[in-house]
Amino acid sequence: MGRFLALIYGAIAYAAALGTLLYAIGFITGLLVPKTLDGGPVVPAAQAIMIDMLLLSLFAVQHSVMARAWFRQWWTRFVPHAIERSTYVLCASLTLALLFWQWRPLPGTIWQIRDITLAMALTELALFGWGVAIASTFMINHFELFGLQQVVLNLRRREAGELRFRSPLLYQLVRHPLCLGLLIAFWATPVMTAGHLLFAAVTTGYIFLGIALEERDLIGIFGEEYRRYRERVGMPALYRRAAP
């Protein structure tokens, strides 16, 4: 029964993550959702900046701290190992949902593309960035990344296979294609408001900080193999360094 409940919990966390991801696409691009990055009640700029920075900081702290090995070692003393990743995913979804709900827009316009063709092209580029980010999760292990594989293996009383370093498809061109896709999605917009600029700038800084922390962990896990990969493949631009 415990294993079956863990599976249900993992499925709920996975569904929450997918729903949050789809809403994030609409929230940032301003398409098909009731509340967007530039929508909602307008408050004084100082108040909006304070609220938005708190929301972004909450997500950054949750997303970074819960991903660290030292936290997972402590956390799994209280949370079963099989649902540790699902719990992380669920917490990330909840903090993002809070951000969507409480975000305060800053409507001042930084730039606006009035040419319809160019504006549509930028929106399509943003959607392409989201596509790259999502596709990159399937190039490694989408279901393990979102915690679903762990609860399925737990139900079947099977252990995960030995952790091996892989760099398939886009990972041969860029070390972090998911991050590259997000950067494209955040910055490619026909209308850049002050609120959108705040979101894009802060999340860009967080992305590069997250990359530094993740690469430190990957070197700790894979050692020289990852160092050689890092020397060969650049970040975040799409290119391969020439062999020496």
Pairing of strands 109-112, 191-193: antiparallel
Both structure tokens of 32: 């098909």
What pLDDT is attached to residue 236?
A: 65
CB within 8 Å of 85: residues ≥ 6 apart:
144, 145, 146, 147, 150
What pLDDT is attached to residue 233?
A: 86
Residue-level pLDDT, tens digit, the chain, 244 residues = 689 999 999 999 999 999 999 999 999 999 999 999 999 899 999 999 999 999 999 999 998 888 888 888 898 889 899 999 999 999 999 999 999 999 999 999 999 999 999 999 999 999 999 999 999 999 988 999 999 999 999 998 888 777 788 888 888 888 899 999 999 999 999 999 999 999 999 999 999 998 888 888 888 888 888 888 888 888 765 544 544 4
What pLDDT is attached to residue 244?
A: 42
What pLDDT is attached to residue 212?
A: 87
Q: What is the largest CA-CA distance in the chain?
A: 59
Task: Provide the 10 A C-beta neighbour count for residue 120.
Answer: 12
Instruction: Check whether the bond before 236 is cis (ω within 30° of 0).
Output: yes
Domain boundaries, the chain: 2-159+166-232
CB within 8 Å of 138: residues ≥ 6 apart:
none
CB 11, CB 146: distance < 8 Å: no
pTM over 0.75: yes
Q: What Å distances lie between residue 87 and 10, 82, 148, CA to CA?
A: 8, 10, 11
